[in-house]
Amino acid sequence: MSTRYSPANNLERKELTIAWCLAHGLVIRPNSPSDSSAVHAPVALYPSLFPSKEFKLALELQPVFNTLYYKLSQSHEFIKVFEVISKVDEFIEQLYNIYLTVKEEGFSQPISLGIHRSDYILHSSPNAEEAHIKQVEFNTIASSFSSLSSLTSDLHRYLSKSINHVDPSQTPDDEALPSNESMTSIPRGIAKAHQLYGSKSAVVLMVVQSGERNVFDQRWIEYVLLNNHGVHLIRRTLSEIYNEGKLDPRTKALMIDGKEISVTYFRSGYGPRDHPSEKEWEARMLIERSNSIKCPTIAYQLVGSKKVQQILTVPGVLERYISDPQEIEKLRSCFTGIHPLDSSPEGEKAVKDALENPERYVMKPQREGGGNNIYAQDIPPTLSKLTLSERSSYILMDLIQPPPMRNVVLKDGEITEDDVVSELGIYGIIIGKGNEEIVNEVGGHLLRTKGRKTNEGGVATGYAVLDSPLLF
Ligand code: ADP
Ligand code: MG
Ligand code: MG
């Protein structure tokens, strides 16, 4: 055990951390449902080392990814790839059908708001000296933890100041513990979209899940939106929207409880569990038909799927959307191998490889929110159960191999020192209208850290903790 993680240091940090989290709203709902209490969020006691060069690269890539995914969301030709998947995946079918219906009727809002998070893990191939970022996935719906992540950066800065107060030279400088504006960047993007909608009396609608444990991350967005921008936000589940929502037949304005909605921001609606009945799908249709600015539209949600990430690795595809060869090269440098599992020669080869060397891969369906992927030894039995067309709705991805690291994590008041893996997320905000980009910004970062033996990585799903990078 390194001296840095001595039991005395860990205990001191644990106490300081719990108090700071509770005092500053770095909190989640407790495991057992309760409307009147909160507990500290799962966090790392120490910031995790992360190479500064790779952190900067991830920041540089973000505006390019923002443009790329915005353009994809605007391309009907591209979105047609979901025709095939919708034949075997009911959830995608429902989304795709709403998209087609509303496209046929004519979209009533030309502006769209993208709040993205591009996620990376450091990869160290056996003969390379340095580790490089590889993209895990690109999220276009309900990218969470922007508020709590910013607070985690503040927490780590506080801990280092407090613990090193006797010898401040031990405190990492501001460059090493980079500031993180994700607390304010996402509300700023929503406020800008609200302003472009152009009605002073309108409010923002956050579409939420009932019983959400990560509710305070969302509440911070509501508070910053009101404090910094004077914009009011209301929260509703899809089933409440079904009961209360109406469209103004003339303007297509979305009305909830008599209030006009400027921006519909989804923190729900990304998986089958959010749609237990037809009612929720009808609510989604109502929103999609409306002239509220959607974050995201259904087209935008669809292009955030894993299949699109695989298609983007096919030679020649990036070139259709990005003209600068240097930008293309930079994007490609962070792609790892992603393979189709369809009847193409590449697909057949990937199936064969996956059966022979499953430990090299992760298999992914078109799903979000964690807990859906199939890892290593579980791949062959899953593959053998699927028909050819079912197989095509998955992709196969090379496992990223992170360098060894250690940290001490705090969950439910308990600390554990462990071998860990960190995943860096960079937030991006884009507002577009047809071919015009009105806003294209980098919106801060998120670092999540999990035990090395754990496959999945979500904080909300209980696998990972919130962390912040210590750049070197
Ligand atoms: P979701 O949309 O459900 O978050 P992800 O693609 O992010 O799906 O996968 C969930 C988790 O699985 C990630 O946070 C990461 O920890 C792990 N993971 C996914 N892809 C890879 C990969 N190629 N190599 C290593 N780990 C991966
Ligand atoms: Mg993910
Ligand atoms: Mg995701």
- pLDDT, one tens digit per residue, over 30-57 is 988 788 999 999 999 999 999 999 999 9
Is 366 annotated as ligand-binding? yes
CA of residue 370 to ligand 3 center, whole Å: 7
DSSP bridge pairs for 407: 418
Query: Is the Cβ atom of 370 under 6 angstroms away from ligand 1?
Result: yes
User: Is 284 among the residues known to form the active site?
Assistant: no
Query: Is 144 annotated as a binding-site member?
Result: yes
- Measuring from atom 16 of ligand 1, which residue has the nearest CA? 457
Could you tell me the two tokens for 41? 């969020």
Query: DSSP letters along 365-396, please?
Result: -S--SSS--EEGGGHHHHHHHS-HHHHTT-EE
pLDDT attached to residue 32:
85
What is the spatial distance between Cα 153 and Cα 168, in angstroms, rounded to a whole number?
A: 18
Residues with CB under 5 A from ligand 3 (ion): 137, 139, 368
Surface-to-core class of residue 5, CB atoms within 10 Å of its CB (0-12 exposed, 13-18 middle, 19+ buried):
middle
Distance (Å) from CA 256 to ligand 1 centroid = 36
Q: Is the pLDDT of residue 5 over 70?
A: yes
What mean pLDDT, rounded, does the chain reach? Answer: 96
- List Cα–Cα distances, 440 to 70, 213, 305, 431, 443, in angstroms: 10, 30, 21, 7, 10
Residue with CA nearest ligand 1 atom 20: 136
250-278: pLDDT as tens digits: 999 999 999 999 999 999 999 999 999 99
pLDDT at residue 226 greater than cutoff 70? yes
Locate the ligand 1 atom nearest the alpha carbon of residue 398 and give its number: 23
Place of tokens 């967005």: 221
The pLDDT of residue 330 is 97
Q: How confident is the model at residue 196 (pLDDT cuts 50, 70, 90)?
A: very high
Cis peptide bond N-terminal to 296, omega within 30:
yes
| Range of weakest confidence among 138-147, 244-253, 433-442, 459-468 | 459-468
User: ipTM of this predicted complex?
Assistant: 0.99
Would you give the DSSP letter of residue 190?
H
Ligand 1 mean position, distance from CA 401 (Å): 12
Ligand 1: residue of 135, 136, 374, 400 to mutate (most ligand atoms within 8 A of CB) is: 136
In the set 260, 327, 368, 441, the catalytic residue is 368
396 Cβ closer than 6 Å to some ligand 1 atom: no
Ligand 1 centroid to Cα of residue 287, in Å, is 30
Is residue 164 flagged as an active site residue?
no
117 annotated active-site: yes
Ligand 1 atom with the smallest distance to the CA of 458 is 14
Q: Percentage of the chain with pLDDT > 70?
A: 99
Q: Is 289 helix (H, G, I), strand (E, B) or coil?
A: helix
Residues 358-383, mean pLDDT to the nearest whole number:
96
Q: What is the mean pLDDT of residues 298-313?
A: 98
Cβ of 399 below 6 Å from ligand 1: yes
Q: How far apart are CA 200 and CA 184, in angstroms?
A: 21
| Centre of ligand 2 from the C-alpha of residue 133, in Å | 15
Q: Is 465 in the pocket of ligand 1 (CB under 6 A)?
A: no
Using the structure block, give the residue that is written with the tokens 């087209």: 299
Mean pLDDT throughout 191-213? 97
369 is in an annotated binding site: yes
Write out pLDDT tens, residues 125-175: 877 789 999 999 999 999 999 999 999 999 999 999 999 888 888 888 888
- The string of pLDDT tens digits covering residues 314-370 is 999 999 999 999 999 999 999 999 999 999 999 999 999 999 999 999 999 999 999
pTM of the model: 0.97
Per-residue confidence band for 2, with pLDDT thresholds at 50, 70 and 90? very low
Alpha-carbon span 444 to 178, nearest angstrom = 10
